[in-house]
Amino acid sequence: MTQEAALTILKTGGNVFLTGEPGSGKSHTINAYVAYLRSFSIEPAITASTGIAATHIGGQTIHSWSGIGIKSALTEYDIDRIASTEYLVKRISKTKVLIIDEVSMLPAETLNSIDAVCRSIKHSEEPFGGIQVVFVGDFFQLPPVRKFSSLSTGSGQEFAFTANSWKAANSIVCYLTEQHRQEDPIFLELLTALRRNEANESHSHILDERIQDVESFDHEGITKLFSHNEDVDRINTLALGQIEGDEKHFKMTSTGREALVAQLTKGCLSPEELVLKVGAVVMFTKNAQNGTYVNGTLGEVIGFETESRYPIVRTRKGSEIVAEPVEWIVEDNGKRLASIKQIPLRLAWAMTVHKSQGMSLDAAYVDLRGAFVEGQGYVALSRVRTLGGLYLAGYNARALQVHPEVLEVDDEFRTYSELVRERFEGIAKDDLAKLHKNFILASGGKIDTPRQARGKQGKPSNAGKRWLAEDDKRLEEEFKNGKSVGALMKIFDRKRGGITARLEKLGLIEPTRYRDDQA
């Protein structure tokens, strides 16, 4: 299924499981859907299963959003307590769309707890209280942390797709099949074989040819991925210490609720105190609004600005970028709850496979000799864009394994997604447009009609005026920071149609058929 087809399905308001191989465009599709909702003044709840994933999408953990905290299973007392907490009731009552990213790392019992909270607060027996739930993720990625619990079945926690709440949600499966990360057909075929448990001797031979002697290989400037934290910390500390020159220290600042700040800090790939020197190998940890770098862009510190003292990074492609502080923000319905600010860099001689999840790397030196869980090898290998950028220290048998239960259910997801694609292709465009419009209205979205436009009093002072370059820059910044169209109307003193038309022109939202005034 294409991203465009998945976006069309999302707009109908049904529950959706958006999945696909790494690099298939899941994040891009979700970003497009969020922009679409915001263009109608609908603010979705954007969450993820882990703090790291939450920082990637500019949201908060699903545990924090739902109020369940560190608990997986809830008692009736717990649910009553959460359902009587004023700010949680206000938050969840308003929510029309709930996005849960990296659902593969969410245990089944946790998903059931979230469902119970939503139904209790919404006073509804519908799955998740009638909220449109969008599950995003790939179950071939790292699984939930397994730990014994008297409330779980078997030897540990189960995948989210085994939860009663998952089954009740009856989600439409949108399995993205396009590939936007791996550009090497041989490497892509290798990853596909691993994913489908069809790897043979020829695939092992390809991997064996990428093994480099640890002692003699010149891996300077290449990010190293390890299974264990202690290897990462040791290598980064050692490498920085071997560089001559003065250290520059950059401390993280924060605002907002202490618990949310702690959540942001834990999930942020940039450390609370970033220590750099000229010559340090670094990685950007966030996407730049102007597109100059993305989360995963590698480079080297070549100096520091004279006045600001911010680091100057030369990327692998030769670009020189001044790494200025950026913010990681937790918002709820457009209101900022907490934020942290730091230089969007981290030392990148080494990092764990776990923290690399969601990244795209030009090159990586991967040590899978200590892999200890299914999917760890697949996650590490699929971070790299080409086979030429992959260097292996070695791998064990576990590194190439995928979970048999995931393998089985993945075939079902693919088959269902293909049936869904064929079904939606048979629906007339006008009928789809009606479904989309009905969901916007049911969610409290604002759609201007000719009658509404004629009935408005007090024409905005900037209606019809030419947009200046500085207007466009501010519009893009405010929109990407989560401002709704309604809020943007007030900021720029323009009509709704004028705002949405400009957002379309800037490529921030897709064109919509429901706008009539283009002032």
DSSP state at residue 211: B
The predicted model gives 194-213 an average pLDDT of 87
Q: Which residues of 450-487 are buried (b: 16+ CB within 10 A; e: fewer)?
A: eeeeeeeeeebebeeeebeeeeeeebbeebeebbbbbb
Q: Assign 148 a pLDDT band (cuts: 50, 70, 90).
A: very low
> What average pLDDT does the chain have?
83
Q: Backbone dihedral region of 204: left (phi > 0), alpha (psi from -120 to 50 degrees) or beta?
A: alpha
Q: How many CB atoms lie within 10 A of CB 512?
A: 19
Cα separation values, 375 from 108, 175, 392, Å: 18, 19, 17
Average the pLDDT over each of 52-61, 190-199, 231-240, 349-358 and give the range with the smallest value: 52-61
Sequence-distant (≥ 6) Cβ neighbours of residue 327 within 8 angstroms:
339, 340, 341
Average the pLDDT over each of 41-45, 195-199, 388-392, 461-465 and give the range with the smallest value: 461-465
**Could you list the residue range(s) of the whole structural domain that residue 507 is in?**
449-519
Same domain, 518 and 420: no
Is 395 a domain residue? no
- What pTM does this model have? 0.68
Is 436 a domain residue? no
Q: What is the CATH number of the domain that holds 54?
A: 3.40.50.300
Q: Which residues pair with 255 in a beta bridge?
A: 339
Does the structure show a pLDDT above 60 at 512?
A: no
- Tens of pLDDT along 490-507? 888 888 888 888 888 888
Q: Assign 129 a pLDDT band (cuts: 50, 70, 90).
A: very high
Scanning the structure block, which residue is given the tokens 């004629």? 454
Same domain, 17 and 165: yes
Confirm if 452 and 13 have CB atoms less than 8 A apart. no
Average the pLDDT over each of 108-112, 269-273, 352-356, 449-453 and give the range with the smallest value: 449-453
> What whole-number distance in Å separates Cα of residue 387 and Cα of residue 184?
7
- Tens of pLDDT along 370-429? 877 777 888 888 888 888 888 998 888 888 888 888 888 999 999 999 999 999 999 999
> What whole-number distance in Å separates Cα of residue 53 and Cα of residue 260?
15
Is 418 a domain residue? yes
Look at 148 and 324; give whichever has higher pLDDT.
324
Same domain, 141 and 274: no
Q: Which residues pair with 330 in a beta bridge?
A: 338
Does the structure show a pLDDT above 70 at 432?
A: yes
> What whole-number distance in Å separates Cα of residue 301 and Cα of residue 321?
10
Q: Backbone dihedral region of 464: left (phi > 0), alpha (psi from -120 to 50 degrees) or beta?
A: left
Same domain, 132 and 220: no
- Tens of pLDDT along 471-494? 888 888 888 777 788 888 888 888
Please tell me the number of Cα atoms within 13 Å of 328 on its side-chain side.
Answer: 34
Is 430 a domain residue? no
Q: Assign 449 a pLDDT band (cuts: 50, 70, 90).
A: very low
Q: Which two tokens stand for residue 503?
A: 């957002």
- DSSP element (H, E) containing 63: helix 62-66
Q: What is the pLDDT of residue 17?
A: 97
Same domain, 227 and 335: yes
Scanning the structure block, which residue is given the tokens 């529950």? 15
- Whose CA is closest to 300, among 316, 324, 322? 316
Look at 24 and 313; give whichever has higher pLDDT.
313
The predicted model gives 278-304 an average pLDDT of 82
- Tens of pLDDT along 296-342? 677 899 999 988 999 999 987 788 999 999 998 877 655 788 899 99
Is 176 a domain residue? yes
Does the structure show a pLDDT above 80 at 463?
A: no
* 328 φ/ψ angles, rounded to the nearest 5 degrees: -110, 130
The predicted model gives 74-92 an average pLDDT of 89
Same domain, 356 and 475: no
Q: What is the pLDDT of residue 470?
A: 76
> Percentage of the chain with pLDDT > 90?
35
Does the structure show a pLDDT above 50 at 355?
A: yes
Q: Assign 452 a pLDDT band (cuts: 50, 70, 90).
A: very low
Scanning the structure block, which residue is given the tokens 């071939």? 140
Angle at 122 between CA 118 and CA 128, to 5 degrees: 35
Bridge pairing between strands 281-284 and 345-347:
antiparallel
Residue type, 250: F
> What whole-number distance in Å separates Cα of residue 487 and Cα of residue 480?
13
Look at 57 and 231; give whichever has higher pLDDT.
231
Confirm if 275 and 293 have CB atoms less than 8 A apart. no
Q: What is the pLDDT of residue 459?
A: 63
Is 145 a domain residue? yes
Q: How many CB atoms lie within 10 A of CB 238?
A: 11
Q: What is the pLDDT of residue 105?
A: 84
Scanning the structure block, which residue is given the tokens 């770098």? 293
Same domain, 293 and 351: yes
> What whole-number distance in Å separates Cα of residue 383 and Cα of residue 342?
25
Q: What is the pLDDT of residue 318?
A: 86
Does the structure show a pLDDT above 80 at 453?
A: no
Q: What is the pLDDT of residue 22?
A: 79
Q: What is the pLDDT of residue 518?
A: 37
Same domain, 173 and 232: no
Same domain, 12 and 153: yes
Domain count, the chain: 3
Q: What is the pLDDT of residue 377?
A: 84
Does the structure show a pLDDT above 80 at 76?
A: yes
Scanning the structure block, which residue is given the tokens 């450390």? 271
Q: What is the pLDDT of residue 474?
A: 84
Compute the residue count for the chain.
Answer: 519
Report H helices in 210-330: 229-241, 258-267
Same domain, 61 and 98: yes
Same domain, 147 and 241: no
Q: How many CB atoms lie within 10 A of CB 247?
A: 11
Is 319 a domain residue? yes
Is 387 a domain residue? no
Q: What is the pLDDT of residue 128?
A: 96
> What whole-number distance in Å separates Cα of residue 317 and Cα of residue 139?
33
Does the structure show a pLDDT above 80 at 290?
A: no
Q: Assign 145 a pLDDT band (cuts: 50, 70, 90).
A: low
> What whole-number distance in Å separates Cα of residue 512 and Cα of residue 494?
18
Q: Assign 197 a pLDDT band (cuts: 50, 70, 90).
A: confident
Same domain, 25 and 152: yes
Q: Which residues of 219-231 are buried (b: 16+ CB within 10 A; e: fewer)?
A: beebbbbbbeeeb
Q: What is the pLDDT of residue 70?
A: 67
Give the three-state DSSP class for 139: coil
- Taking the CA atoms of 50, 52, 54 and 57 in sequence, report the sign of the dihedral they define: negative
